[in-house]
Amino acid sequence: MDQFKSKIVRKLPDLLMNDWKNIFLSELGESYFESMQEKLSTIMQTEDVYPPQDAIFQAFNLCSFADTQVVIIGQDPYHGKGQAHGLCFSVPLGIPLPPSLRNIKKELHLDLDVFLTSQDGDLSQWAKQGVLMLNSILTVSDSKPGSHADLGWQQLTSLSIEKISEEKENVVFLLWGNYAQNLAKNIDADKHLLLCSSHPSPLSANRGGWFGNKPFSKTNDYLLAHQKAAIHWL
CA distances from 227 to 51, 110, 129, 168, 221 (A): 35, 25, 15, 14, 10
- Phi, psi (rounded to 5 degrees) for 73: -115, 125
Residue 152 region by backbone torsions, left for phi larger than 0, else alpha for psi between -120 and 50, else beta? left
- Phi, psi (rounded to 5 degrees) for 133: -100, 85
For every residue of 103-155, DSSP letters joined together read HHHHHHHHHHT----------HHHHTTTEEEEESS--EETTBTTTTTTSSHHH
Across-strand partners of 65?
Answer: none
CA 61 from centre of chain:
12
**What is d(CA 172, CA 194) in angstroms, rounded to the nearest whole number?**
6
Which is the catalytic residue, given 14, 19, 76, 221? 76
Residue 76 appears among annotated catalytic residues: yes
**What is d(CA 52, CA 84) in angstroms, rounded to the nearest whole number?**
8
Active-site residues: which are they? 76
